[in-house]
Amino acid sequence: MSDLIFAGGTVVTAEGSFPADVAVSGETIEAVGVDLPRDGAEVVDCSGARVMPGFIDGHTHMDMPFGGTMTADDWDTGTAAALAGGTTMLVDFSLQDVDGTLGEAVETWQGKAEKARIDYGLHVAITNLTEEVKQELPSLPDLGVATVKIFMAYKGTPLYTADEDLFEAMQIARECGLLVLVHAENGDAIAKLQEQALARGDTEPRWHGLTRPEAVEAEATNRAIRLAEIAGCPLLVVHVSCAPALQAIEQAHARGQTVYGETCGQYFVFSDADLARPGFEGAKYVCSPPLRDPSNRPALWHGLQAGDLQIFGSDHCSFNYAGQKDLGADDFTLIPNGLPGVEERPYVLWTHGVREGRITENLFVAALSTNQARVHGMAGRKGTLAPGADADVVVWDPDLTITATQANRHSNVDYTPYEGMTFTGGPAAVYVRGELAYRDGEVIAEPGSGRYVHRTFAQPAPGPAVR
């Protein structure tokens, strides 16, 4: 017998849209079909709404140290913000301590995530590929970790990894069935450009972008792809921000190489002009890769349409303007990198993608949910409305209109880069494993209700489109 029925809505999956009910028993989906029997189940009236699988954000940074400070959002506030956008699962980055093990990173982040209001998985960011870590990598799948991240940028910090270690990590990852994620920017070129800018007295936020030109990202993207080709391992290039970097992925697909690509909402609504805002305002827009000239956007949309970019993440990494961003008031290299966006990600993609006719609602679901589950290793259980899957459900109101302002955001950060932006289309209600977690602007799920999800990377078929 069902406990809950989402009735009378249009079910939207990555494959298609159709009128149907969705029945839930306990924590899982029991059936999807027309006029399912009510039998005393609680009925959620979804008329006029789209019923979609809960969104998954495979790229967040909660409660993470960066640039001598900690992100403003922890797992309580960060997952509240996620719910307010319809996101029911995150995959966040646990960071290896330079003298620590990978297992310790997972354990530390699981401790932080005890406050999660939604389900979560953990990537491990490798910061020091010691002999011990090389031996340890094959044990990650047993911990439910399917993905490791390597930073090619941030030279001079523990995050930076040279090619030698990137390449060896790829070889080991191939052997033990892990997917390698790369932050692809040339750390050496950036460090030199930054040094030269500061020597000239160019200290303002806009120099953050000017010292990380598109070619810096394109070169590293191509290098990572070619190293993965040599190592014979699949690769996910995260936060693709510009046409030249995307081109390297398209070329890999033309050769038949398995490379996944993620882009993020901020690259579709902000630009280098925001980094050049008067005074120190540009610091609110400092993230890496940096915001680009808007002429890149048509290529990024095409990347999503063609399946060269399969997933749309947030790279949510929030820092307060007062007390954190202003660490770099006299030196742009000291501005902590990152923007909030876990709440806005689906609003951006619906408003500018679906409503403006660039993508279908099915591609919207694929990029936010189904492909995320496939690439990040939890397909079947997450990212789908099918019998047996977790009952993570978004009741999406295509006409809901909201203007973002700091006071109506759910993040714990003292500004929003989205200030004054109006979005149409948003979640009316969100359910996590059959429990109401968010409705009409109110977060209902309690901290601690989220669960760790074991993930296993199963390589989707090679080629551009995952769905």
- Estimate the crossing angle of helix 243-255 against helix 297-306, to 10 degrees: 30
Given the structure tokens 């939604």, which residue do they identify? Answer: 118
Min separation Cβ 312 and Zn ion, Å: 14
Give whichever of 137 and 287 is closer to ligand DUC, judged by the CB atom. Answer: 287
Give whichever of 288 and 310 is closer to ligand DUC, judged by the CB atom. Answer: 288
DSSP code per residue over 300-313: HHHHHHHTSS-EEE
Count of beta carbons in the 10 Å neighbourhood of residue 195: 12
Give whichever of 65 and 441 is closer to ligand DUC, judged by the CB atom. Answer: 65
- Candidate ranges 33-41, 182-190, 363-371, 425-433; the one touching Zn ion (CB under 5 A): 182-190
Distances (CA, A) of 153 to 95, 128, 174, 221: 15, 14, 23, 11
Residue 131 CB partners (closer than 8 Å, separation 6+): none
Distance, in Å, from the CA atom of 47 to the CA atom of 43, rounded to the nearest integer, reads 11
- Candidate ranges 12-20, 94-102, 125-133, 312-320; the one touching Zn ion (CB under 5 A): 312-320
Binding partner selected for residue 7 from ligand DUC, Zn ion, none, CB under the kind-specific 5 to 8 Å limit:
none
Give whichever of 92 and 361 is closer to Zn ion, judged by the CB atom. Answer: 92
Give whichever of 289 and 434 is closer to ligand DUC, judged by the CB atom. Answer: 289
Binding partner selected for residue 338 from Zn ion, ligand DUC, none, CB under the kind-specific 5 to 8 Å limit:
ligand DUC
Min separation Cβ 259 and ligand DUC, Å: 19
Distance, in Å, from the CA atom of 378 to the CA atom of 456, rounded to the nearest integer, reads 7
Residue 107 CB partners (closer than 8 Å, separation 6+): none
Give whichever of 128 and 171 is closer to ligand DUC, judged by the CB atom. Answer: 128
Q: Which two tokens stand for residue 192?
A: 């030199």
Question: Which amino acid makes up residue 380?
Answer: G
Give whichever of 79 and 384 is closer to ligand DUC, judged by the CB atom. Answer: 79
- Cβ 104 vs Cβ 138: under 8 Å: no
Binding partner selected for residue 416 from ligand DUC, Zn ion, none, CB under the kind-specific 5 to 8 Å limit:
none
Give whichever of 21 and 315 is closer to ligand DUC, judged by the CB atom. Answer: 315
Residue 226 CB partners (closer than 8 Å, separation 6+): none
> Which residues make up the interface to ligand DUC (CB under 6 A)?
61, 66, 183, 287-288, 315, 317, 337-338
Binding partner selected for residue 237 from ligand DUC, Zn ion, none, CB under the kind-specific 5 to 8 Å limit:
none
- Binding to Zn ion (CB under 5 A) within 126-155 occurs at none
- Candidate ranges 35-43, 170-178, 246-254, 309-317; the one touching Zn ion (CB under 5 A): 309-317
Give whichever of 181 and 432 is closer to Zn ion, judged by the CB atom. Answer: 181
> With contacts defined by CB under 5 A, how many residues of the chain interact with Zn ion?
2
β-partners of residue 262 are: 311
β-partners of residue 436 are: 431
Q: Which two tokens stand for residue 448?
A: 């601690």
Residue of 44, 40, 1 whose CA lies nearest to 22: 44
63 binds Zn ion (CB under 5 A): no
Min separation Cβ 35 and ligand DUC, Å: 48
Min separation Cβ 68 and ligand DUC, Å: 13
183 binds Zn ion (CB under 5 A): yes
In our burial notation (b when 16+ CB lie closer than 10 A, e otherwise), range 269-300 reads: bbbbebbbeeebebbbbbbbbbbbeeebbebb
Min separation Cβ 315 and ligand DUC, Å: 6
Binding partner selected for residue 337 from Zn ion, ligand DUC, none, CB under the kind-specific 5 to 8 Å limit:
ligand DUC
- Candidate ranges 66-74, 265-273, 311-319, 418-426; the one touching Zn ion (CB under 5 A): 311-319
Count of beta carbons in the 10 Å neighbourhood of residue 382: 25
Min separation Cβ 223 and Zn ion, Å: 16
- Candidate ranges 160-168, 225-233, 267-275, 307-315; the one touching Zn ion (CB under 5 A): 307-315
Count of beta carbons in the 10 Å neighbourhood of residue 138: 14
DSSP code per residue over 381-407: TBS--STTSB--EEEEEEEEEEE--GG
Give whichever of 2 and 60 is closer to Zn ion, judged by the CB atom. Answer: 60
Q: Which two tokens stand for residue 388?
A: 């047996």
What are the E-state strand segments in 167-247?
Answer: 179-183, 235-237
Binding partner selected for residue 155 from Zn ion, ligand DUC, none, CB under the kind-specific 5 to 8 Å limit:
none
Give whichever of 285 and 350 is closer to ligand DUC, judged by the CB atom. Answer: 285
Q: Among residues 119, 315, 390, 397, which is the contact residue for Zn ion, using CB under 5 A?
A: 315
Min separation Cβ 309 and Zn ion, Å: 15
Binding partner selected for residue 265 from ligand DUC, Zn ion, none, CB under the kind-specific 5 to 8 Å limit:
none
- Residues of this chain that interact with Zn ion (CB under 5 A) are 183, 315
